[in-house]
A and B are shown apart, each in its own frame.
Chain A
Amino acid sequence: MKTKKILKFMHILSWFVFIGLCIKTGGILISYFMSITTPEAAENLYAGLDLSEYYKHSFKQYTFIVSYKVALFATEAYIAFLVTQLLKALNLEKPFNLKVQKLMQSISYSIFNLWILAMIHNTHVQFIGIRYHYSMDLFSSDFIFLAGVIFIFAQIIKRGIEIQSENNLTI
Chain B
Amino acid sequence: MAIIVNLDVMLAKRKMRSKELAEIIDITTANLSILKSGKAKAVRFSTLEAICKALDCQPADILEYIED
Q: How far is the CB of A133 from chain B (nearest CB, A)?
A: 67
Q: Does A140 contact B (CB under 8 A)?
A: no
Q: How far is the CB of B9 from chain A (nearest CB, A)?
A: 18
Q: Report B-chain residues with C-beta under 8 Å of the C-beta of A170.
A: 40-44
Q: Does A142 contact B (CB under 8 A)?
A: no
CB within 8 A of A166: which of B31, B32, B35, B41? B41
Q: Report B-chain residues with C-beta under 8 Å of the C-beta of A92.
A: none
Task: Kindly state the separation between the CA atoms of A165 and B40 in the bound complex, as whole angstroms.
Answer: 10
Q: Report A-chain residues with C-beta under 8 Å of the C-beta of B34.
A: 169, 171
Q: How far is the CB of B8 from chain A (nearest CB, A)?
A: 15
Interface residues of A in 136-170 (CB under 8 A from B): 165-166, 169-170
Task: Kindly state the separation between the CA atoms of A90 and B14 in the bound complex, as whole angstroms.
Answer: 46
Interface residues of B in 45-59 (CB under 8 A from A): 47
Q: How far is the CB of B11 from chain A (nearest CB, A)?
A: 15
Q: How far is the CB of A60 from chain B (nearest CB, A)?
A: 60
Q: How far is the CB of A160 from chain B (nearest CB, A)?
A: 16
Q: How far is the CB of A47 from chain B (nearest CB, A)?
A: 55
Q: How far is the CB of A161 from chain B (nearest CB, A)?
A: 14
Q: Report A-chain residues with C-beta under 8 Å of the C-beta of B47.
A: 171
Q: Does B16 contact A (CB under 8 A)?
A: no
Which residues of A are interface residues toward B (Cβ below 8 A)?
165-166, 169-171
Q: Offer 23 A-B interface pairs, CB within 8 angstroms, sorted by A.
A: A165-B41, A166-B41, A166-B42, A169-B34, A169-B39, A169-B40, A169-B41, A169-B42, A170-B40, A170-B41, A170-B42, A170-B43, A170-B44, A171-B27, A171-B31, A171-B32, A171-B34, A171-B35, A171-B40, A171-B42, A171-B43, A171-B44, A171-B47
